[in-house]
Amino acid sequence: MPIFASASSTRPWGLSARQAAERFDVGTATAIVWGRRFREGGELVARRQGKPRSLRLDPHVHYLLGLREQIPDLTLAELAAPLERERGVRVSLATVWRFLDRHAMTFKKTAPAAEQQRPDVQAAGQG
């Protein structure tokens, strides 16, 4: 039986939450919560850890899509700046990237970099 199941179902064994916490080397509050979840609904699976995924940019999806249509090759910073300036939404570049990834919007630069067209760069590459 998993530790979670053992710690949450200790009452039938005559253990208090504190005793269960000590026996299974978990915090007292953890054992209390596990026991309550088990008593109230038979829950024995661990819940997802960490902060819930933020959907801060979802209300702005049409705005961001509009920007993307106007200027197809915007950088993450160029998408984040008007959000803060015009909408008052300050987000990290990682948040913008996760939003784009979640909506299957990728930005691939297919044209060669501008500096590759310079004569001195072309000459250096052929030597």
Buried b (16+ CB within 10 A) or exposed e, 114-127: eeeeeeeeeeeeee
Does 23 reside within a domain? Answer: yes
What is the tens place of the pLDDT at every residue in 96-105?
A: 998 888 888 7
What is the tens place of the pLDDT at every residue in 33-52?
A: 888 888 888 887 877 888 76
What percent of the chain has pLDDT above 90? 18
The pLDDT, as a whole number, for residue 29 is 92
What is the distance between the alpha carbons of residues 14 and 68, in angstroms, rounded to a whole number?
63
pLDDT at 116 exceeding the cut of 80? no
Q: Which residue has the tokens 């300050």?
A: 90
User: How many domains is the chain partitioned into structurally?
Assistant: 2
What is the distance between the alpha carbons of residues 119 and 116, in angstroms, rounded to a whole number?
8
Q: Is 32 exposed, middle or buried (0-12, 13-18, 19+ CB in 10 A)?
A: middle
Does 51 reside within a domain? Answer: no
Does 96 reside within a domain? Answer: yes
What is the tens place of the pLDDT at every residue in 5-31?
A: 555 455 555 788 888 889 889 899 988
Does 108 reside within a domain? Answer: no
Name which residue leads in pLDDT, 125 or 32. Answer: 32
Give yes or no: residues 63 and 37 share one domain.
Answer: no
> The whole model's pTM is what?
0.47
Does 71 reside within a domain? Answer: yes
pLDDT at 1 exceeding the cut of 50? no
The pLDDT, as a whole number, for residue 110 is 54
Does 127 reside within a domain? Answer: no
Does 120 reside within a domain? Answer: no
Q: Which domain holds residue 25?
A: 3-41
Buried b (16+ CB within 10 A) or exposed e, 59-76: ebeebbeebbeeeeebeb
Q: Which residue has the tokens 């909408």?
A: 87
> Taking a C-beta distance cutoff of 8 angstroms, is the pair 44, 33 a contact?
no
Give yes or no: residues 32 and 65 share one domain.
Answer: no
The pLDDT, as a whole number, for residue 20 is 84
